[in-house]
Amino acid sequence: MDEKSTIDFRQIDAVPQLIKDYLNGKLGEFHNRSFSVEAAELQAEEKRLNFSADQRRRLTTVLSDQMQSAGLSGKQRQNLEALASSDTFSVTTGHQLNLFTGPVFFIYKILQTIKTADYLTDRLSGKTFVPVFWMATEDHDLDEIDHFRTVDDFYQMHAEAGGAVGRIKIEDTRFISDFEKEFAPTAHGGELVSWMKEAYRKGISLTTATRILVQKLFAEYGLLVIDGDDARLKTEMIPVFEAELKNEELYRSTAVAVQELTERYGKVQVNPREINLFYLTDSRNRIERQNDKYVVVDTDKQFSQTEIIDELYKHPERFSPNAVLRPAFQETVLPNIAYIGGNAEIMYWLELKSYFDKIGLTFPILIPRNSLLFLSNKTLEKAKKLGLDFTDFFGDYNKLVNRKIYDKSPLAELLSEKKAEFQNILAELQARAAETDPTFGNLVQAEEARGTKSFRRMEKRLLRAEKKVHADLLQRYNRLYEAVHPGGVWQERVYNFSVFYAFGGSDWLRRCMAGISVEKSQLAMLHN
């Protein structure tokens, strides 16, 4: 892949400054180590000291039980067996249970997790690293995950919200027939349709549906899939959840970090609550402390402190962490050394280092996931004819297009020359003004400001005129931008993986894997 096919995240306007600073090593106080082979080795040794044999036994038992119906591949079985060893560690990513995986970056982050685990295993003798996908089965924002988009259509599954989404039983399957109409004629559409029909059968849970799909896509790569909605895993969190209920541990220990990050960047990704737990039964509701009572919001249920701690010890599965407490859950139950996430995820993880220190938990290496962009040869050829490189679409595109349209005018060069002449004349007068009355210098300065404004008005008027003259050309520029940013958004956040898999099949997955960098956080462009 040539250099022009990738852009470092630090060179992309849309990437948050906080992420750029993290990649530039400016936020060391908010995390543990930056990614490298050497750092991964140190991280593994630190994690080994904080992950007991009992935790390993529990983890392997839970994973074996959860994955037994999936029909494990040889590599999955090998990775599951390896987890019993104290020399085996995980590289993890996580995501919501989006319908049919949702936007395609779901695929990219898992592939990067697999590739990173393999990369470290190859380079660190005596240690094994296995890729793990954490299903966000307890998340209750159904409206964020109940749909996906293709180039030509929008698909949605209707269900009742309010509880843990992973427990939702699938009843509405009307989207399947419409999907079949769109994709059956494509090269690999039959495969996609059969996966969808197997995963989204009436009566099975959204957790099971997602597991089926992930297994179809990634079993051969050895990916292990874990569901945190399990009483055995929650048991390990009893001390952490107890401290959260009694002492508001996360809120208090992150207060300084949240303030510092807010002062530097204007706001933080997530503001921790006083209590970052939900009470989970048929519904999932926040727990709030009101005076001397613990209230389950939007219900009649309430506890004294003694009662809620007793409930926690008897039924840990009824306590569900929110998004900002979930990282501690994940890092408690896994021998994890690195977490791969999107920019928004990395931003809220960076709030948590002081909390991890407080509860004695090893903070993982954070790796911003790669982004991929697929463009057809036809689109690339059109861009080339208009003098555009794919990197141009990730800078100030409007400014670039305006300049190209403006430069079409025969008056543009003349106006630029006269503006320079005017500024040179005023600069000379300004320099000589000191030899005479100082008020003359002020007059020259004021005239320069007025003149510069006049030239700016003329340039704007000229640009408007040229846009009318070159309306067809402007439309071509805009259509190209839409091809790269459908709906004004990065392609990977809009289209479902089926858009690409339908024509490339499993070879498309391998192309994605090859285009992802383990060592750099970047956007890579691949030809369709």
Q: Where are the domains of the chain?
A: 31-232+323-369, 238-321, 389-489
Distance CA 350, CA 254 (A): 10
* CATH (one of 3.30.300, 3.40.50, 3.30.70, 1.10.530) for 31-232+323-369: 3.40.50
Q: So what's the pLDDT on residue 166?
A: 96
| Ranges in the chain, pLDDT < 50 | 1-4
Q: Give one DSSP letter per residue of 380-437, joined into a string.
A: HHHHHHTT--GGGGGS-HHHHHHHHHHTTSHHHHHHHHHHHHHHHHHHHHHHHHTTS-
Instruction: Please give the pLDDT value at position 185.
Output: 95
CB 513, CB 114: distance < 8 Å: yes
Non-local CB neighbours of 141 within 8 Å, separated by 6+ positions: 96, 165
pLDDT reported for residue 374: 96
Question: CB-based contacts of 184: which residues, under 8 Å, 6+ apart?
Answer: 190, 193
How many C-beta atoms surround the C-beta of residue 21 within 10 A? 16
Report the DSSP beta bridge partners of residue 375: 527
pTM reported for the whole predicted model: 0.91
DSSP 496: B
Task: Determine contact, residues 71/119, Cβ cutoff 8 Å.
Answer: no
Return d(Cα 244, Cα 306) in angstroms, integer.
14
What does the pLDDT look like over 318-346, one tens digit per residue? 999 999 999 999 999 999 999 999 999 99
pLDDT for res 160: 87
